[in-house]
Amino acid sequence: MKIGEAIADECRHMFTIPKLAAILLLMPILYAVLFGFLYSHERITEMPVVVYDGDNSSLSRQIIQAFDATDTFQVTGQRWNQEDVVQAVQSGEARVGLIIPPNFTSGLQHGENVPILTFIDGSNLIYSNSASRIANQVIMSVSSGATLQTLDKQGMSSEQAGSLLNTIPYRSRVLYNPVFNYEYYMPIGVISAALQQCLLLGIALSCTWQKEAGSWGQFGVWRFSPWKLAIAKLTPYFLIGLVNIVVSFSIAHFGFGIPFAGQLLPMLFLALAFNFAVCGLGFLFSIVSKRQVDAIQALMLIAMPSFMLSGYTWPLEAMPSVLRIIGECLPLTQFLQGVRNIVGKGLPLESIWGNVMALGLIGLVTLLISFLIYPLTIRRHSEDNPPTTTSQSNQPVTIADPVQKG
């Protein structure tokens, strides 16, 4: 065979398989549109900010207004002491806490060093990098003369006010990852994505291999009790998934020094819920796929979007609404949110309870859909593989008379 003939034969083969042709020609275009849409906001906007204004002066109010006037920040509430501000950042209610100390304006007028303080959530480096930079720009803008007219009315000359504002002290404290170390951030996300995809792959092949082997029909006895099939198929993978989570995060902590600030009990609850959700999703893929290659192709298509929409490479709050809703429905998104709260912040079980409930709901919904589809797959398998029967003649069998002797 000539090389040209082999090339032509391969092209014919490629385009006679619709799924393969779609993966090669359409999926790159779909991914390009998806990721372009994902980053269409260009930058993070409307990060929630809580404020403690201990000074309650004209200058402090203008500083708060300057934060709220930016596209990056959105002042969502006020607190009455510094501890409440820190608590709001720890719980995830706010990404930034702004603290203006008491006697701030009068201290500046007397030459005292009374700094404005911001607490920034460093568990997500994308937030912390942007928040630190923009907060510093806001303070510099105020210091450069945004409130000159206000201080002028208080009896100060423009020269005095300008000298004063140029020396407004500012301190920023990044919580949980103050040195912006990517080793404390990226490995957790990549490890979690790998855990999800490996478990999904194993579960997705759990039913398809028997469909290809022709033994799928034996589960017809469970046509009206598909939960038995789910227990039989998913139990081994569920246990393996738990072991993998324990081993992977142990290697990350003890082998590479990635901090684990939380407790084991919340992590156990989160791991159980995550495995349950992934098992439900994988079981659904396995039920609807006819062949193993179909299941593998489907998982390939969701692997990268699942990680990109998880909020780990780009915050959910900065995504378009449609993509944010899709991202919230993915197990990896809920798991990573909980992992950041436990591993990075050391928060208790209450902080991840919403993620645990969301993962449980994902698992229940996908299992329910699988149970509804399961009888249809049994029927389709029976139609595609009809039982072979041995035909029998309706004619009576004639028995020859015994030969008579003599």
Average pLDDT by stretches of 10, the chain with 406 residues: 76 72 73 70 81 89 89 90 89 89 82 84 82 85 59 55 60 80 81 90 83 74 83 91 92 87 91 95 87 80 82 81 88 92 87 94 95 81 58 44 44
- Could you count the other beta carbons within 10 Å of the beta carbon of residue 136? 13
Q: DSSP letter for 182, please.
A: G
- Could you count the other beta carbons within 10 Å of the beta carbon of residue 20? 14
CATH number, domain 47-175, options 3.40.50.170, 3.40.1710.10, 3.40.640.10, 3.90.330.10: 3.40.1710.10
Q: How many Å apart are CA 188 and CA 259, to the nearest integer?
A: 10
Tokens 């509430």, residue? 77
Q: How many Å apart are CA 245 and CA 60, to the nearest integer?
A: 48
This prediction's pTM: 0.77
Longest Cα separation, the chain: 151
Q: What pLDDT was estimated at residue 96?
A: 92
Residue extents of the structural domains in the chain = 3-38, 47-175, 182-384
Radius of gyration of the chain (CA): 31
Q: How many Å apart are CA 356 and CA 273, to the nearest integer?
A: 6
Q: For 166-180, give one letter per residue: b (16+ CB within 10 A) or e.
A: eebeeebebbbbeee
Q: What pLDDT was estimated at residue 321?
A: 83
Q: What pLDDT was estimated at residue 395?
A: 45
Tokens 């509804």, residue? 372
Going by C-alpha positions, the residue among 235, 222, 326, 226 that lies closest to residue 276 is: 235
Q: DSSP letter for 386, please.
A: P
Q: Which token pair is 54?
A: 């201990």
In angstroms, the Cα distances linking 130 to 64, 126, 134, 239, 297 are 18, 6, 6, 40, 37
Return the axis-axis angle of helices 331-339 and 186-213, rounded to nearest 10°: 150
Q: Give pairs for 55-59: CB < 8 Å, separation 24+.
A: 55/100, 55/101, 55/102, 55/103, 55/104, 55/105, 57/104, 57/105, 58/105, 58/147, 58/150, 59/104, 59/105, 59/108, 59/147, 59/150, 59/151
Q: How many Å apart are CA 83 and CA 87, to the nearest integer?
A: 6
Q: How many Å apart are CA 118 and CA 97, to the nearest integer?
A: 5
Q: What pLDDT was estimated at residue 156?
A: 55
Q: Which token pair is 163?
A: 């000298």
